[in-house]
């Protein structure tokens, strides 16, 4: 009887152990995959600076614009706008209701209605901000935002 129990343990214990290990191993890989995906999302997030204010008074799908830019560092936008008190970043993100998405392939602006506008390439943050202000100022709803910015 003792040999049967020993034989039982010698056969079933390794089978049970190997199935359990494989199962845990797959779960571990799934966790790694999820962590990898989360890491990618986090990496993207470090380049995304959301608008500080939304245009809730309009009936658009999006309540903000998105500036896609090749500029790699938000610090570039932390200089004064037109020698005033506001920074380039504040003008874009707050006054113009626009998120900034850094480190992109090209400069472009997505409007609140989803239209995409190409912008000039190889610009400094100051030049890009001026182009964005000009473009938004030519938009129906953006004209009032730019007018308020100038005053």
pLDDT digit string, tens, across residues 48-90: 999 999 999 998 889 999 999 999 999 999 999 999 999 999 9
Q: Which SS3 state, helix, strand or coil, does residue 80 take?
A: strand
Instruction: Please state, in angstroms and rounded to a whole number, the distance separating the CA atoms of residues 75 and 87.
Output: 10
Shared domain for 142 and 84, answered yes or no, is: yes
Shared domain for 78 and 41, answered yes or no, is: no
Q: What pLDDT band is residue 151 in, cutting at 50, 70 and 90? A: confident
| Global pTM value | 0.71
Shared domain for 31 and 69, answered yes or no, is: no
Instruction: Please state, in angstroms and rounded to a whole number, the distance separating the CA atoms of residues 6 and 56.
Output: 73
What is the number of domains present in the chain? 2
Tokens 């953006």 -> residue: 142
- Contact criterion met (CB below 8 Å) for 98 and 27: no
Q: Which domain holds residue 6?
A: 1-46
The residue ranking higher by pLDDT, 10 or 80, is: 80
Instruction: Please state, in angstroms and rounded to a whole number, the distance separating the CA atoms of residues 24 and 16.
Output: 12
Shared domain for 71 and 36, answered yes or no, is: no
End of a domain among 9, 25, 46?
46
Shared domain for 68 and 132, answered yes or no, is: yes
Would you tell me the crossing angle of helices 142-150 and 125-137 to the nearest 10 degrees?
120
Shared domain for 1 and 41, answered yes or no, is: yes
Shared domain for 40 and 53, answered yes or no, is: no
């Amino acid at each position: 009887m003792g040999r049967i129990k020993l034989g039982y343990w010698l056969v079933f214990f390794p089978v049970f152990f190997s199935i359990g290990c494989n199962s845990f191993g797959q779960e571990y890989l799934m966790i790694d995959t999820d962590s990898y995906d989360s890491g990618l999302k986090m990496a993207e997030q470090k380049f995304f600076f959301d608008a500080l204010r939304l245009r809730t008074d309009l009936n658009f799908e999006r309540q903000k614009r998105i500036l896609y830019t090749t500029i790699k560092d938000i610090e570039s936008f932390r200089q004064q706008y037109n020698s005033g008190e506001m920074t380039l970043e504040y003008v874009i993100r707050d006054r113009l209701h626009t998120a900034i998405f850094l480190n992109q392939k090209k400069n472009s602006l997505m409007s609140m209605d989803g239209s995409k506008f190409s912008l000039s390439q190889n610009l400094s943050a100051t030049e890009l901000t001026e182009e964005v202000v000009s473009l938004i100022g030519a938009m129906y709803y953006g004209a009032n935002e730019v007018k308020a910015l100038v005053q």
